[in-house]
Chains A and B, each alone.
Chain A
Amino acid sequence: MKSRRESAVSNMAADDKLQTGEPLVRVRGLCKRYAQGRWLTRKKFLVEALSHVGLSIRARSTLAVVGESGAGKSTLARCLARLEEPSSGEIWYEGKSLLDLSSQERFWVRRQIQLVFQDPTTALDPRLSAVEIVAEPLVIHGEGSKRDRRQRALTAMEQTGLSPQWGDKSPLEFSGGQRQRLALARALVLGPKFLILDEALAGLDLSMQAQMVNLLLGIQASQALTYLCISHDLALVSNIADEVAVMRQGRIIEWSRTSELFNNPRHPYTQQLIASVPRLESTA
């Protein structure tokens, strides 16, 4: 009980410190519990994947959530994208509560919040062509004529650095980095405001990763996007995030501006995380 109160206090303190711009997304007291059963027994255990998580993300900024696997990062992302129903708590998006929306409002919110997953190979349908994949959200949202949709999909591909000439290729013909660009193009085609990147850069080689980071920063500036970047890679996060929240066992244990977190980590776990990043010593 004590630790919960502690984490709540630190979050409130962090709230005061960090709120300068208007928050686009606000999360308060978010909990998610899963019932887990053992094989062949009726006994169920409750696993707390998210425990009283409080966060806010300013419009046009990037919040990174870091932590090890099982810390609850992806559950948080899925709750924010409304792919998962939280057990309790509040999620506010542009002043509206995401948890009680009419079906019409829900449709509107889905256009605004898009997700990019870690593994582009499983996220892309191999039976569709590249342009069909990118145009699919437009089909679902009933936008434009067929030719119009194709045009918008090709524009989105171009934005992410894919040649429109590749539109009719199968995703299997793309390399890993290009597939992730394709997944990003699909997320951007509806003109969203809030992009959730769930380990979207984790499977890429270093040079592809750097290219993607530059691309994401460019798109953020030109389209006024807000990012929630889920990652276990601290070096990467140090480069794209304005603020970083460290998660462990379903709780946020530290949350501050990126420079503050890296230069002056408070929580021992954060210090341990930062110390474990492999570095090239010669540049020091």
Chain B
Amino acid sequence: MEQSSRDPLLQVRGLTVRYRPEGGTEVAAVNQADFTIASGEAVGLLGESGCGKTTLALSLLRLLPTTICDVRGSILLGETELMGLGESQLRQLRGATISIIFQEPEIALNPVMRVGDQIAEVIRAHRPWRKRRCLDEAGALLDQLHFIDANRIFNAYPHQLSGGQRQRAVIAQAIACKPALVIADEPTTALDPTVQSEVLTLFIDLKERFQIAFLFISHNPAILAKVVDRILVMYAGRIVEEADTTQILRRPLHPYTTGLMRCVLEWGDEGAFRPRRVLPTIPGSPPDPANLMQGCPFEPRCPERMEVCTAREPQEVQVEISQRVRCFKYGG
């Protein structure tokens, strides 16, 4: 489905990832995922833990170990089919054309290397430049990311930085080679609220200035609402809804999306502040992908379940030009 008039940058078709745990049965962590990201577009991936968000992200970079994972389908990045590439070709791609930002900057950075060197290292891996030039580029990049004292941070070790500064350093690494696509896996979850909003603003700014496409993963619709143009909702390894951000906020279709939106805690603007109210929830917990029942995977928790829901899985329905959903309510 093409919502965007811009060129499609990433086209994913029928992506299925199966884990084969030793001695256990196969588990489909991602099931028949189809989606497109246009160049310069920010797309959000929304879902609860265990729904397959991170597996999907890692499979786009082909980072999943082939020994325990079976990845099928097609991942087309520009003109290149990623599924057919060998490890050395993938290494050239990772960091240069497509890169990833993880949740914990503490783990992503090397503790015994200065931040500037770590950023320059990424540039050196992909550009034929001398070390000096790479370091200069890294320094310039830190300046562009609005570091207040870019100089100190350039020469600092990760432990000398605050959580927000570290995450900015990781972001600098990810965009150092001006990739076409950056995947950000819960990049602000580990941060304090004020720092979180700073980093989100930085993402919006980067998208506009560098024309980088983002796949932004989060479990919080309110965070995605701030940064992305379009949202994919994932449940039990399936993409159950896709729509433009404004559209999905105004009129979520899938009962799961509706439930998630209601779970965002808010206080009203017009003094409608109600402490100690009973919160709306989605009853139950996400299913274990290893033993899914027949029918729609959301059926056991769904407030609007029908008879047909237990019989088979709903098909995808294009409800509007920019909105598709997997639910029998809409004829799936």
Which A residues contact B (CB, under 8 angstroms)?
68-69, 175-178, 205-211, 213-214, 217, 232-236, 238-242, 258-259, 262-263, 272-273, 275-284
Contacts and interface: CB of A to CB of B under 8 A. Distances in A.
B281 A259 contact: no
A239 B197 contact: no
Contacts of A282: 225, 246, 249-250
A29 to B, nearest CB: 27
Interface stretch (B54-62, B73-81, B257-265): B257-265
B69 interface: no
27 contacts: A68-B193, A68-B195, A175-B286, A176-B49, A205-B219, A206-B221, A206-B260, A208-B48, A209-B265, A210-B265, A210-B280, A211-B283, A233-B193, A235-B264, A235-B265, A235-B266, A262-B273, A273-B194, A278-B196, A278-B197, A278-B220, A279-B222, A280-B222, A280-B249, A280-B266, A281-B225, A281-B249
Contact of A280 (B49, B219, B264): B264
A231 B261 CA distance: 22
Q: A177, A213, A262, A280 — which one has the most chain B CB atoms within 10 A of its CB?
A: A280
A207 B263 contact: yes
Main secondary structure of the interface of A (DSSP, over half): helix
Q: B49, B163, B223, B269 — which one has the most chain A CB atoms within 10 A of its CB?
A: B49
Given A206-B260, A213-B279, A258-B275, A235 B285 contact: no
Nearest to A235: B265
A239 B265 contact: yes
B179 interface: no
A282 B249 CA distance: 6
Contacts of B277: 239
Q: B220, B246, B265, B281 — which one has the most chain A CB atoms within 10 A of its CB?
A: B265
B271 interface: yes
B2 interface: no
A279 to B, nearest CB: 5
Contacts of B225: 278-282
Contacts of B196: 276, 278
B278 interface: yes
A214 B281 contact: yes
B127 interface: no
Contacts of B275: 238-242, 258-259
Contacts of A284: 269
Interface in B147-181: 163
A69 B162 CA distance: 10
Interface residues of B, number: 43
Interface string B274-307: 0111111111011000000000000000000000
A235 B197 CA distance: 14
A277 B264 CA distance: 11
Interface of B: 48-50, 163, 192-197, 200, 219-223, 225-226, 246, 249-250, 259-261, 263-267, 269, 271, 273, 275-283, 285-286
Nearest to A269: B194
A262 B220 CA distance: 21
Q: A205, A242, A276 — which one has the most chain B CB atoms within 10 A of its CB?
A: A205
A64 to B, nearest CB: 10
Given A236-B265, A283-B266, A276 B197 contact: yes
A205 B48 contact: yes
A242 B260 CA distance: 25
Contacts of B193: 68, 232-234, 273, 276-277
Given A68-B193, A280-B266, A207 B223 contact: no
A279 B280 CA distance: 16
B220 A217 contact: no
Contact of B285 (A208, A232, A239, A240): A208
Given A206-B220, A235-B265, A278-B226, A263 B271 contact: yes
Contact of B282 (A207, A235, A258): A207
B245 to A, nearest CB: 10
Contact of A206 (B194, B219, B226): B219
A208 B51 CA distance: 14
A66 to B, nearest CB: 9
Contacts of B271: 263
A232 B250 contact: no
Contacts of A176: 49
A262 B279 CA distance: 18
A239 B264 contact: no
Nearest to A283: B266
A202 B220 CA distance: 13
